[in-house]
Amino acid sequence: GCGFSAPAGNISGQAAGSAGSSAGTAGEAAKSGSKTLVVYYSATGRTERVAKVIAKERQADIVKLVPLPDYTEADLDYNDTTSRVSREHDDAALREKIQLEKAVPDNWSSYDTIFIGYPIWWGIAAWPVDAFVKANDFTGKHVVTFATAYSSPLGNSGKLLFEMAGGKGQWQDGICFTGSLSEDKVREWVKSLE
């Protein structure tokens, strides 16, 4: 078995754009000169939803990682042992060959905090993120990982990415959102980091 079960429910719709303002957060960030970037990969949109809430909450820039070529629905079929993800899962050499449309975000050196988001694939970070982590220097940066999954935790996904980054930067395990996504829960988590 693949060790994970189907989601308990669909993404629950939360009204976007609450009346709450994050101006205070932005003000504090501006004062300390801190600049945040949210970088994510998302195959089916769940991690993207979380990433957008984080970026809004932190007044951060946001960048989506796009694999070249991108994954089709058939590529993502983990029940098919011959699908692209299944073959990549079985063969680390294939994972290492994955290219991104753009691996180095614009103005990389201007950010001191980087949120990295990804879906959990077979217990680890979806591997399109690997190419991003390997292509950038995290020296002096504070990194927070986050993920979405049906049921799996972050596990050692963050530790593995930290190793791929050559042990550079100050990395902190964030959170893995499972089951139905709640934008309120994402906001709560972001606030708890401050």
Ligand X SMILES: Cc1cc2nc3c(=O)[nH]c(=O)nc-3n(C[C@H](O)[C@H](O)[C@H](O)COP(=O)(O)O)c2cc1C
Interface with ligand X by CB under 6 A: which residues? 4, 42-48, 76, 78, 85, 119-123, 148-152
Residue from 162, 165, 169 nearest 140 by CA: 169
DSSP classification of residue 110:
G
To ligand X, the closest distance from the beta carbon of 10 in angstroms equals: 11
To ligand X, the closest distance from the beta carbon of 32 in angstroms equals: 31
Q: Specify the residue, 151 or 182, whose C-beta has the smaller distance to ligand X.
A: 151
To ligand X, the closest distance from the beta carbon of 1 in angstroms equals: 11
Question: Which contacts (CB < 8 Å, 24+ apart) does range 179-183 have?
Answer: 179/7, 179/8, 179/9, 179/150, 179/151, 180/7, 180/8, 180/9, 180/10, 180/11, 180/12, 181/11, 181/12, 181/46, 181/49, 181/50, 181/148, 182/12, 182/14, 183/14, 183/16, 183/49, 183/53
Q: Specify the residue, 67 or 169, whose C-beta has the smaller distance to ligand X.
A: 67
To ligand X, the closest distance from the beta carbon of 45 in angstroms equals: 5
Q: Specify the residue, 113 or 152, whose C-beta has the smaller distance to ligand X.
A: 152
Q: Specify the residue, 29 or 65, whose C-beta has the smaller distance to ligand X.
A: 65
